[in-house]
Structure 1
Amino acid sequence: MQYRRFGRTELQMPVISCGGMRYQQTWDDALLDVVEDENQRNLEATIRRAVELGVSHIETARGYGTSERQLGLVLPKLPRDEIIVQTKIAPNADPEVFRQQCLESLERLNLEYVDLLGLHGINNYELHWQSVRPGGCLEVARELQAEGKVRHVGFSTHGLTHQILDTINTDAHGGFDYVNLHWYYISQWNWPAVEAAAARDMGVFVISPNDKGGLLYKPSDKLVELCGPLHPIVFNTLFCLRRPEVHTLSLGASKPSDFDLQMAALEMTDRADELVAPIVERLEQALEAATGMDPQEVLTANFGAGLPLWDQDSPGYMNAPMVLWLRALAVAYDMVEYGKMRYNLLGRGGHWFPGLSAGHIDSLDDEQLAKAFKKSPHADDVVGWLREADELLGGEAVKRLSQE
Structure 2
Amino acid sequence: MLYRRFGRTELQMPVLSCGGMRYQHSWKDVPQWMIPQKNQKNLAATIHRAIELGISHIETARGYGTSEIQLGRVLPQLPREQIIVQTKVSPKPQPKEFLKIFEQSLSNLKLDYVDLLGLHGVNTPAILQYCLDGCLEVAQQLKTQGKVRHIGFSTHAPTQVILDAIETDQFDYVNLHWYYIFQDNWLAIEAARRHDMGVFIISPSDKGGHLYNPSPKLVELCQPLSPMVFNDLFCLRLPQVHTLSLGAARPSDFDEHLQAVSLLERADELLPPILERLEAAAIAALGPDWYHTWQEGLPAPENTPGQLNIPITLWLGNLLDAYDMSEYAQARYNLLGSGGHWFPGQKADRLSDLDLSDCLSRSPHAAKIPARLANIHQRISGTPVKRLSQQ
* Shift in CA distance, 317/8, structure 1 to aligned 2, threshold 3 Å: same
* Shift in CA distance, 247/279, structure 1 to aligned 2, threshold 3 Å: same
Per the alignment, residue 150 of structure 2 pairs with 152
TM-score normalised to structure 1 length: 0.95
Contact 1:29–1:63 (8 Å) recurs in 2: no
Per the alignment, residue 190 of structure 1 pairs with 185
**Partner letter of residue 168 of structure 1?**
I
Instruction: After TM superposition, give the deviation of residue 184 of structure 1 in Å.
Output: 0.2
Matches of 2:290 and 2:386 in 1, distance apart?
29
1:211 correspondence with 2:201: no
> How many residues were matched structurally?
391
The alignment yields a C-alpha RMSD, in angstroms, of 1.1
1:363 correspondence with 2:353: yes
Instruction: After TM superposition, give the deviation of residue 304 of structure 1 in Å.
Output: 4.3
1:271 correspondence with 2:266: yes
Per the alignment, residue 362 of structure 2 pairs with 375
Per the alignment, residue 131 of structure 2 pairs with 131
Per the alignment, residue 305 of structure 1 pairs with 296
- Identify which range, 2-11 or 340-349, moves more after superposition: 340-349
Identity of aligned residues (%): 59
Matches of 2:240 and 2:291 in 1, distance apart?
20
**Partner letter of residue 229 of structure 2?**
V
Matches of 1:204 and 1:320 in 2, distance apart?
28
Instruction: After TM superposition, give the deviation of residue 294 of structure 1 in Å.
Output: 5.6
Contact 1:340–1:398 (8 Å) recurs in 2: no
Gaps of 5+ in 2: none
Per the alignment, residue 283 of structure 1 pairs with 278
Per the alignment, residue 315 of structure 1 pairs with 305
Instruction: After TM superposition, give the deviation of residue 219 of structure 1 in Å.
Output: 0.4
Per the alignment, residue 141 of structure 1 pairs with 139
Q: Secondary structure of 1:311's partner?
A: helix
Contact 2:15–2:243 (8 Å) recurs in 1: yes
Q: Secondary structure of 2:322's partner?
A: helix
1:349 correspondence with 2:307: no
Matches of 2:254 and 2:291 in 1, distance apart?
30
Per the alignment, residue 392 of structure 1 pairs with 379
Per the alignment, residue 38 of structure 1 pairs with 38
Matches of 1:124 and 1:375 in 2, distance apart?
24
Structure 1 runs (4+) deviating above 4 angstroms are 294-297
Instruction: After TM superposition, give the deviation of residue 371 of structure 1 in Å.
Output: 2.3
Contact 2:85–2:116 (8 Å) recurs in 1: yes
Q: Provide Cα deviations, 1:94-151, integer angstroms capped at 9, x if missing partner.
A: 1001011111111100000000000000000110000012xx1011000000000000
Instruction: After TM superposition, give the deviation of residue 48 of structure 1 in Å.
Output: 0.1
Residue correspondence of structure 1 range 221-240 to structure 2 within 5 A: 221-240=216-235
Gaps of 5+ in 1: none
Per the alignment, residue 24 of structure 1 pairs with 24
Contact 2:150–2:172 (8 Å) recurs in 1: yes
Contact 1:284–1:295 (8 Å) recurs in 2: no
Matches of 1:225 and 1:96 in 2, distance apart?
53
